[in-house]
Amino acid sequence: MSHNRQKKIAVINDLCGFGKCSISVSLPVISAMKIQCCPLPTAIFSDHTGFESFYSTDFTEHMEPYMDEWAKLGLRFNGILTGFLGSVTQIETVKRFMRLFKTDECCVVIDPVMGDNGKLYPTYPESLALKMRELLPYADILTPNLTEVCILTDTEYRPDISDSELEKLCEKLCDKGAESIVVSGLDRGDTLENFIYRRGKPSSTVIEHKAGPCRSGTGDVFSSIVCGSAVNGLELEQGVRLASSFIAKALRLTVKTGLPGTDGICFEPLLWELGKE
């Protein structure tokens, strides 16, 4: 019996019960794109760390036996998407996952969730940020923000970095093994830009007008759509345009709905748009 008659993406990330981020976002987005989403949790949160109080439990010790069962089933994935990883051990586990399941027909999207606004997240040690570089050789598409680009290339952070400087930094990331880079959410005043760099090809930029303040989960929506688009055969720039447009619409709806800032973005009423692409 074959379990590989449908397109599948393995999503390695934490599972957040409330707050619309991580696997809780990826699962409906990828499903709406007519692809089966197969979650591998790294941790489980009642609500994300932006809330004053939350319950969490680490899933590290369960990850290897969990994925070994997938190997027994002979699962083959068309895509692998990684998000927040909370320890050096988890990065080693993801490397083993790649050795087990990455094939030439599988698109790997790595979202190196480490920090923002020039700083590592408070719970993210520098040693772990350095370890993240070991995943770059597996990345068909890497989706860092500017802070993460600077961390991965050991570069001083500047919010006003130019496109020519970005090209040089992305070239460094490709030299470390990544195939294509999408630097997401570049703040350019009234617009947000996504800078696309592909090895051996001209760079390009996808621009969207700001549609409200950034909220938790937008990066997870972005990387999920980019991964789903690649699995569905879209060119990288098409996938980035789809992701950027979808997030802008969801942010406008979120502002209209009046959701609290902690509660993520109101994307569910728009999922049908992903299904028609």
C-alpha 55/C-alpha 49 separation (Å) is: 9
* Interacting residues of 134 by C-beta distance below 8 A, sequence separation 6+: 91, 95
275 within some domain: no
Q: What is the pLDDT of residue 122?
A: 81
3-state secondary structure (DSSP) of residue 76? coil
Whether the pTM exceeds 0.85: the reply is yes
CATH code, domain with 28:
3.40.1190.20
In a domain, 277, yes or no: no
Sheet holding 8-18, edge to edge: 56-58, 36-47, 8-18, 79-82, 107-110, 141-142, 180-187, 191-198, 204-209
Q: Is residue 61 part of a domain?
A: yes
Q: What is the pLDDT of residue 178?
A: 96
8-31 pLDDT per residue, tens: 999 999 999 999 999 999 999 999
Positions of the chain with pLDDT under 50:
none
| Overall number of domains in the chain | 1
Q: What is the pLDDT of residue 277?
A: 57
| Residue 251 domain-assigned (yes or no) | yes
Q: How big is the chain by its Cα radius of gyration, in Å? A: 17
Which domain covers residue 66, as residue numbers? 8-266
pLDDT at 210: 81
Residue 273 falls inside a structural domain: no
pLDDT tens per residue across span 73-126: 999 999 999 999 999 999 999 999 999 999 999 999 999 999 998 999 887 888
Residue 237 lies in a domain: yes
Residue 2 lies in a domain: no
DSSP string, 222-239: HHHHHHHHHHTT--HHHH
Q: What is the residue type of 31?
A: S
Between CA 78 and CA 231 the distance in angstroms is 6
3-state secondary structure of 254: helix
Question: Residue 105 class from Cβ within 10 Å (0-12 exposed, 13-18 middle, 19+ buried)?
Answer: exposed
The verdict on residue 96 lying in a domain is yes
